[in-house]
Amino acid sequence: MNILEVRHIQKNFGKHPVLNDLSFSVPEHSIFGLIGKNGAGKTTAMKMIMGFLKPTGGEIRVCGENVAYGNTATNRFIGYLPDVPEFYGYMSAKEYLMMCGRITGLKRLQTSKRIQELLPLVGLDGIKRRIHSFSRGMKQRLGIAQTLLNKPKLLICDEATSALDPKGRKEILDLLSVAADQTTVMFSTHILSDVERICDSIGLLHEGKLALHGKLSEIKNTYRKEAVRIETLNEAQARRLLEHLHALSFIQSVERSQNAVTVQLHDPQKNGLKIIDVLSDEQIPIMNYELLEPSLENVFLDVIK
C-alpha cells in the first residue's frame, strides 16, 4: 500500500513555476529520500503534503485520504520535522513534548509514558534546561522525538541533517533508521551520502519534476558504468599503461590523471583479465585495481546535466 501519493502537483510562486506536474508515491515501510539542489522545491512539496501551502493544481493523498489546504485531518497520520524546527524557548523538552502529545490527542498518562520512551531514544533524558539553551543537534533530536509521539504512519523530515556537523548528522540518520522499523520515512536532503546511507528508494527533484524515481539499488544498476580504475606507483608507469591500453579493441575510452588510469570497457569481468595480462606482460606494478561502483553523485550529475 502507498502511504503517500502525490499526483500531478503544480505550484507557482507568482508566475515562476516551482513544481511542474510532480507525481510520485511512497510505499509503506520504506525510507524515501527526496533529493534536489537547493531551491528545487523540496520544502515546497513537503509543506503542501502538510497542508501548509496550497497547490496550484493536482492532488495529494496520505493513507488514502485527500490532503485539504488549511486544517487538514491527514496530519494525524504524519510526524513532521521542518527544515529549521522552531520551538518555544521558554519550555523544557519535557514540557514541549507534553504539549505536543496533548495536542495530538493522547491522554496525559499515555503522553507521559511515551515521553519516557522517547527522551532516552533521542538522548535528551534528564535534561531539564529550557530549549533556548539547546544546541542545533539537540533541537533536531527534540524535533524527531516530537514527530514520533503519536506513532505516525509517515515521518516527514525536511533537510534534517543539513545544518549539522558530521557527528550530529550521524546521530540523526541513526535515529531515522531506528524509526523506520515502525513507520515510513520520507526525508529530503541535498547531501547525497546521507541518502546512500539510509534510503531504500529515492526521487530526484529537478526542474519541478521527478527526474528519477525508484529503488536505490535499481537506479544504481541502471546507471552502472562499466569502468575500472587502476593506480600505478608513479606517473611514468601510468603513461606506459595508457599507451598499451589504447591498443586493445574492447576498450571504449581511457583517461589518466597523475598515476591513476580510468578505463571504460565492455564486460569488465571478462575483459578485465586481459588488462591484468597487459599489466603482467609489461611488468607494471599497481597499487590499486577496482571496479567502479556508480556513486549517487555521478547519477545525480548525469541526470541533471
Partner 1 sequence: MNGFTAFLRKELLEHVRNYKVLILLSVSAIFGMMSPLTAKMMPDILANVKVEGMVLKVPEPTFIDAFVQFFNNFSQMGMAILLLVFGGLLSQDLAKGTLIIPLSKGLSRYTVILAKYAAALILWTLSYVLAITIHYGYTLYLFKPISVGHLFFSLFCLWLFGAFLLAVLLMASVITRGTYGGLFVTAAGLGILLICQTIFRMDTFNPLKLVSENVALLTGKAEFDQLLNIAWITGALILAALILAMAVFKKKSI
Partner 2 sequence: MTHISDYLPFLIPIIALELILALSALIHILRHRSFRFGNMFIWIIIVLFFQIIGPIIYFTIGRGEDE
Contact residues for partner 2, defined by CB under 8 A: 89-90, 130, 132
| Cα–Cα distance for residue pair 129/144, rounded to 1 Å | 18
Cβ pair 206, 303 in contact under 8 A = yes
* DSSP 8-state assignment for residue 37: -
Window 214 to 233, contacts with partner 1 (CB under 8 A): none
Q: Which is nearer to partner 1, 179 or 192 (CB)?
A: 179
In the complex, the smallest distance separating the C-beta of residue 196 from partner 1, rounded to whole angstroms, is: 28
What does 85 interact with, of partner 1, partner 2, none (CB < 5 to 8 A by kind)? partner 1
Per-residue cell: 151 = 506513532
143 binds partner 1 (CB under 8 A): yes
Per-residue contact flags (x/-) with partner 1 for residues 188 to 217, judged by CB under 8 A: ------------------------------
Q: Which is nearer to partner 2, 136 or 270 (CB)?
A: 136
* DSSP 8-state assignment for residue 52: S
What does 86 interact with, of partner 2, partner 1, none (CB < 5 to 8 A by kind)? partner 1
Angle between helices 93-103 and 108-121 (to 10 degrees): 130
In the complex, the smallest distance separating the C-beta of residue 89 from partner 2, rounded to whole angstroms, is: 4
DSSP string of 249-294, one letter each residue: TTEEEEEEETTEEEEEESSHHHHHHHHHHHHHHTT--EEEEEEPPP
Give the position of cell 519516557. Answer: 116
Q: Which is nearer to partner 1, 99 or 303 (CB)?
A: 99
